[in-house]
Amino acid sequence: MEHQPLTHPISAAPVRINRGVSPTTRAWLFLSPSMLFLGVLIAASLLVLRMSVGTKGAEWTGFSLASYAQLLEPYYLKSLLLTLRLALISAVIAVVLAIPVAYTMSRLTSPFARRIFLAAVLLPLLVNLLLQSYGWLVILGPGGMLNQALMGLGLIKRPIMLLYNQNGVLMGLVQTAFPLAVLPIASAMRGVARTYEEAAATLGASRWQVFRQVVLPMSMPGIITGATLVFAYNASSFVVPLLLGGRRVPMLAVMVHDQIAPLMNWPAASAAGVVLIVTTLAIMTLSEFITGRRRRMLEASQ
């Protein structure tokens, strides 16, 4: 009588093919929220572009370039040039003021002190822009803190008019956009190794020479980026020129508001917005080209 074996051979387990999501698909899924948001922005921009070639009362059916022709009038050209000039001047002033702050932040060794500096720089971004503008009204008004202080020191005999002119608007633009200049410059200066400064110092360079001939040239991409951010931010500013400049400083964003609110002229407002966007993008493209070229020159020199 034959006995059956007590053990049975174990068959090999079937190999399971891992058919998970490919890395490319995972990347697209990861980017899908951002792509959706960008799609909404692009769709909104196309709608504005379509309204800009419409006519008043027939924004979606009519076709006319009268709104763009209107922007060639001296009043609108003056507004566009004023917007670009104030945005450019505010960018230069903000960068000049941001460079020493950014250099100090990049050279701090204490994490606590670095956080304090960062919090102080970011503070304007945490306060509502409307509240900041009203704060400037309190400071710069005829009976404001600044005039009272100057008169108390005997420097002036009568209040200086700092509101409802370009000087007041310029101060507000610089203050609100100052953090946008500090952060990229500090990041660029933090990337400059201390060894370059030490090598220049050993060759007899003073601290000012090290800063001017070593740190600043190697931080130029960050400086250009900061200036570009401030320029783009202030070119489309609306609250600051409206409150601090009133109707005496007709920046283009204020004119866009005036075309919509009392006149309901959507094609004219859309055309002004398109011109502002195109001009800002052109300047930002030029800045990016200069920044990329400068970065390649620095990488080649290293």
Q: Which domains are seen in the chain, by residue range?
A: 65-300 (1.10.3720.10)
How far is the C-alpha of 131 from the C-alpha of 122, rounded, in Å?
Answer: 15
Q: Residue 16's pLDDT band (boundaries 50, 70, 90)?
A: low
Rounded average pLDDT over 48-70: 84
How high is the pLDDT of residue 141? 84
Rounded average pLDDT over 132-155: 86
How high is the pLDDT of residue 20? 62
Strand locations in the chain, DSSP E?
A: none
User: Cβ distance 249 to 241 under 8 Å?
Assistant: yes
**Cβ neighbours, 10 Å, residue 243:** 20
Q: Residue 221: CB partners within 8 Å, gap ≥ 6?
A: 188, 291, 294, 295, 298
**Cβ neighbours, 10 Å, residue 80:** 18
How far is the C-alpha of 212 from the C-alpha of 88, rounded, in Å?
Answer: 23
| First-residue to last-residue Cα distance in the chain | 88
Q: Residue 9's pLDDT band (boundaries 50, 70, 90)?
A: low
Rounded average pLDDT over 97-119: 88
Whether the per-residue pLDDT at 17 is higher than 70: the answer is no
CA-closest candidate to residue 259, choices 244, 274, 245:
274
Whether the per-residue pLDDT at 89 is higher than 70: the answer is yes
More confident residue, 25 or 174: 174
More confident residue, 156 or 85: 85
How far is the C-alpha of 53 from the C-alpha of 267, rounded, in Å?
Answer: 6
Q: How many CA atoms lie within 13 A of 285 on its CB side?
A: 6
Whether the per-residue pLDDT at 302 is higher than 70: the answer is no
Rounded average pLDDT over 252-262: 83
How high is the pLDDT of residue 11? 52
Q: Residue 91's pLDDT band (boundaries 50, 70, 90)?
A: very high
How far is the C-alpha of 9 from the C-alpha of 29, rounded, in Å?
Answer: 46
For the segment 150-197, what is each residue's pLDDT rounded down to a tens digit? 888 888 888 888 888 888 899 999 999 999 999 999 999 988 888 888
How high is the pLDDT of residue 86? 93
How far is the C-alpha of 175 from the C-alpha of 172, rounded, in Å?
Answer: 5
Q: For 98, which DSSP code?
A: H
Whether the per-residue pLDDT at 18 is higher than 60: the answer is no
How high is the pLDDT of residue 284? 82
**Residues of the chain with pLDDT > 70: what percent?**
91
How high is the pLDDT of residue 19? 57
How far is the C-alpha of 154 from the C-alpha of 157, rounded, in Å?
Answer: 7
How high is the pLDDT of residue 181? 93
DSSP-assigned beta bridge partners for residue 55: 58
What's the whole-number average pLDDT of the chain?
84
